[in-house]
Amino acid sequence: MTARRPSLAVVGATGAIGGVMLRILSQHADVWGEVRLVASPRSAGRKLVVRGEETEVLALAEDVFDGVDVALFLVPDDVSAHWAPIAAAKGAVVIDDSAAFRLEDDVPLVVPEINSHATRLRPRGIVASPNCTTLSLIVAVGALHAEFGLRELIVSSYQAVSGAGRDGVTALREQLSLVAGTELGTHPGDVRRALGDGALAVSSPFAAPVALNVVPWAGTDAGNGWSSEELAIREECRKVLGLPDLKTTATCVYVPVVATHSMSVHARFENEVAVDRAHEILATAPGVVLFDSPASGDFPTPSDVVGTDPTWVGRVRRSMDDPRALEMFICGDNLRKGAALNVAQIAESVAAEITLA
């Protein structure tokens, strides 16, 4: 007897995260029965390849959820806010990658390596996946928390432009092509000429040029000088780790990198920490790669990490001022673990429930 394989809908199949999801579904081809690809009416009728088969994209509508066991939402907040409850009402378990439900009390926020148990308690039929910045660091930090007891995080991000969607990648590409013809000396005029007026002519999701620049603002104004992405890291780390009083301060900065978010992390624990023990924990934690021998050139960078599943950790040092604090540099592919992979992992744990039921 073969167990029934559950059916899946992928809403947002044509986006940047959708594209990564289709590759993950092809790699994990034996989990799902029928796979329906869904997008806005504008993209309906396009054909995409998943699990080796050309599959027509359906327009988002109520009836696409008929008979669907699990629905992945890889779409903007407003689309999720409207359509996820409709899919749930039709009986699908929704795994939502948007911010629409992440901080709702009756929606679990899940990182399978840390709180997979939370997936099963989903009174609204919706499970949320964290922001890509939270996901880039929390697997490593969570493993250390289990041993040392986390008390405070001070984080500065080096975020990839794909965190702002396909428009972010397009803006970087167009700005780089403006720069390509320019002699890059150290005279300020070189950079200004290349990026000044030209960059402003390129439509961009960033508030400043991102090629040959860094942009310390991500998301929207959240009051008192904070950006929404900075507060998201704070609230989501607290919720996933089950530490409602965790001290957490983030500064979010876009850098001219296509994919993979990096984080400089100061983590203070309840107990004294030793680098050797932290190395042992990180080297054996699920979903973590330890890459930490900087004098030999072994530290994670986005170009090492892009396209891989795990969170990579290096530059682990104990604070010279506080025996309870560690410094680390952490990289995670924002489109894989930071988005599509975490959603797929949650979905597969729901699939296992359905298959075993």
Among 26, 40, 115, 264, binds its own copies (CB under 8 A): 264
Is residue 262 within 8 Å of residue 158, measured between CB atoms? yes
Residue with Cβ nearer its own copies (248 or 342):
248
Nearest partner of 70 among 49, 93, 89, judged by Cα:
93
Catalytic residue flag (residue 132): yes
Residue (142 or 168) nearer to its own copies, CB? 168
Backbone angles phi, psi at 70, to 5 degrees: -135, 135
CA nearest 245: which of 233, 235, 255? 235
CB 55, CB 32: distance < 8 Å: no
Q: How far is the CB of 310 from its own copies (least distance, A)?
A: 14
* Residue 77: CB minimum distance to its own copies, A: 19
Sole binder of its own copies in the list 10, 11, 16, 141 (CB under 8 A): 16
Please answer whether residues 10 and 21 qualify as being in contact, where contact means their C-beta atoms are separated by less than 8 angstroms.
yes
Between CA 164 and CA 158 the distance in angstroms is: 13
Q: What residues numbered 101-160 form the site for its own copies, per CB under 8 A?
A: 152, 154, 156, 158
**Residues 63 and 36: beta-carbon distance below 8 Å:** no
Of 59 and 274, the one with the shorter C-beta distance to its own copies is: 274
The smaller minimum CB distance to its own copies, of residues 26 and 249, is found at 249
Q: Which of residues 184-223 bind its own copies (CB under 8 A)?
A: 184-192, 195-196, 199, 207-209, 212-217, 221
Instruction: Kindly indicate which of the ranges 1-9, 44-52, 108-116, 178-186 contains the residues binding its own copies, using the contact rule CB under 8 A.
Output: 178-186
Instruction: Label residue 298 left, alpha or beta by phi (over 0 means left) and psi (-120 to 50 means alpha).
Output: beta
Q: Is 331 in the active site?
A: no
**Among 237, 252, 261, 331, which one carries the catalytic annotation?**
261
Q: How far is the CB of 144 from its own copies (least distance, A)?
A: 15
- List the interface residues with its own copies, window 318-337 (CB under 8 A): 318-322, 325, 327, 329, 333, 335
Residues in contact with its own copies, shown as a per-residue x/- string from 217 to 256 under the rule CB under 8 A: x---x--xxxx------x------------xxx-x-x-xx
**Coil/strand/helix, residue 135:** helix
DSSP H helices, the chain, are 16-27, 77-89, 112-115, 132-148, 166-180, 188-201, 228-241, 275-284, 302-305, 341-356
Enumerate residues 286-315 that contact its own copies by CB under 8 A.
292, 294-295, 297, 299-304, 306-308, 314-315
Q: Which sequence positions are flagged as catalytic?
A: 132, 261
